[in-house]
Structure 1
Amino acid sequence: MSKLTLVELSDLPRKPHGCPPEVERSWARLVATHKSVTGLFNTLNELRAGQDDMRGAVSETHRDQARAAIVFTAAGIDACLRTLLRDSLHTLLSIAGDAHGAFVAHFMANRLNGDMTKATKQAVVDIDPRSALIDLYVQDLTGFSIQGGADLIRCRNALGLKQDSALDDQILKSHQPFFNARHEVVHELDLVDPSGRGTRGRRHRDLAAVGTQCDGALQLLHAFIAPTARTVKAARRTMGLSAT
């Protein structure tokens, strides 16, 4: 193993101190994703170590492990951010602040401007309209999946974290290559020529680059979770509730 450069994830930072219940589920999903992707990279390292010549060409089997890591990481991002939004917005929207401002601006511009859609009308008259509207909001923010920097920026703003330097626009946009890779793996089957004509070539996946992208994406999730935990605790104190 000494000649082998391992593909590894960094350890996650510590769980936010006094993590409120609104953030617990998202944190658990991050931990589970980190564990799953770590397992994929461990298997990848073991496969490579078992080669007769560890310096030999990287096989498609090895790259398939890397492709699986991209898919698992992206699924974790979707699950963590959707959960973080759904669970924390109930509290964050109970007080005046950046999160509430983003919520109002979104609905005024997208769902209450002109004729309301059937989904919006149903949410307004739902037995629990706040929850129904938050579900619509999260759906608008994340779609079927997070597609890149623009979606990350919308999620950041919805959580009232626009001023957080660790989540500035350029940092969030810098993760676009990871989301492009996920799109290629999932939607194009990673084919160089998706038309199916000629050779069924596969895109080259640099293992070290995949490891770096997945690691950065998971660390980014912590950068969403930690400040959200702080703002939720502050909101709970404003409402006279226990911070946890």
Structure 2
Amino acid sequence: MSESTAATRIPKLTRVALTELGRKPRGCPDQVKPSWARLQATYKSVSGLFDTLHVLREKAAETKDARGRLSEDQLDQVRAAIVFTSAGLDACLRRLLRDALPALIEGGGKPQGRFKGHIIETRLIGNPAKETKAAITDPDPRTRLIELYVEDLAGSSLQGYTDLIRVRDALGLTDATLADEHLEALKDFFAARNEIAHELDLLDPTGRGDRGRRHRDMGTVGNQCDRVIHVIEDFLRATASALKAL
């Protein structure tokens, strides 16, 4: 989110606003539509959190100067924006993998090669796991193996930018917007997400030192959430183009 679109000035306060989403891809494939709906819901939820934060700051400004450090309640709104954005990332890309990967694998090329390589090199080495054996003996083994592949790619959640690289490569996407450097730029967001999710943002949750909570800069978090939301959009647009090209 550029500085010109990141915030709109009103008296005393700075309002964080996400960059608007583009329109759904023309002729959007059915395999992308559910993920696009989740993207729109994520955008609406995160925007709503920042709107609520602004209302809270306006109310606080009626009795005191609200231009300084955010209160703990206000910081919790900022933290919630990170959590909501992360949940949207997980929901959108996991659904995209489930819906789009089968068709892309069937289309051959890199997605099929990566799928076969993963199953052979990871799932079939040594004594296969119980779920792998169940998939192989299933009436529809290909579908079950793809389901396991999706779980291996995304797990319970996407923990870092390297997970996004794996998802991109599995889908066979080569768009410049999803280049390594663009995805690596999200590492600060993932660090914040993990600190909030696993430590409640405590500075020292186990030792004797400072147990205070980390301060989150409102503008920085707004930019981080905005970048992640538009990376999701880039994934969906690139996947839509790949499916239409089959």
- What is the TM-score of this pair, normalised by structure 1? 0.92
Q: Spell out, residue by residue over 1:165-193, the C-alpha distance to the aligned partner (whole angstroms, 9 max, x if none).
A: 11111111110111111110011111001
Partner of 1:46: 55
SS of residue paired to 1:62: helix
Distance between the aligned counterparts of 2:125 and 2:22, measured in 1? 42
Distance between the aligned counterparts of 1:119 and 1:57, measured in 2? 51
CA drift at 1:49: 1.6
Distance between the aligned counterparts of 1:198 and 1:153, measured in 2? 37
The 5-angstrom pairing of residues 187-226 of structure 1 reads: 187-195=198-206, 197=208, 199-226=210-237
CA drift at 1:135: 1.3
SS of residue paired to 2:106: coil
**Which consecutive aligned stretches of 4+ in structure 1 deviate over 3 angstroms post-superposition?**
196-200
Q: Is it true that 1:145 corresponds to 2:157 in the alignment?
A: yes
Q: Spell out, residue by residue over 1:58-81, the C-alpha distance to the aligned partner (whole angstroms, 9 max, x if none).
A: 111111001001000000000000
The 5-angstrom pairing of residues 82-97 of structure 1 reads: 82-97=94-109
CA drift at 1:199: 5.0
Partner of 1:5: 14
Count of residue pairs brought into register by the alignment: 234
Distance between the aligned counterparts of 2:208 and 2:218, measured in 1? 27
SS of residue paired to 1:22: coil
Partner of 2:191: 180
Q: Spell out, residue by residue over 1:103-158, the C-alpha distance to the aligned partner (whole angstroms, 9 max, x if none).
A: 11211221122221111111111232222111111110111110111100000001
Q: Which amino acid in the other structure matches residue 11 of structure 1?
A: E
Q: What is the aligned-residue RMSD (CA, Å)?
A: 1.3
Partner of 1:234: 245
CA drift at 1:2: 2.4
Mean CA deviation greater in 46-55 or 180-189: 46-55
- What is the TM-score of this pair, normalised by structure 2? 0.91
Mean CA deviation greater in 191-200 or 140-149: 191-200
SS of residue paired to 1:55: coil
Q: Which amino acid in the other structure matches residue 149 of structure 2?
A: Y
Distance between the aligned counterparts of 2:117 and 2:210, measured in 1? 50
Partner of 2:128: 116
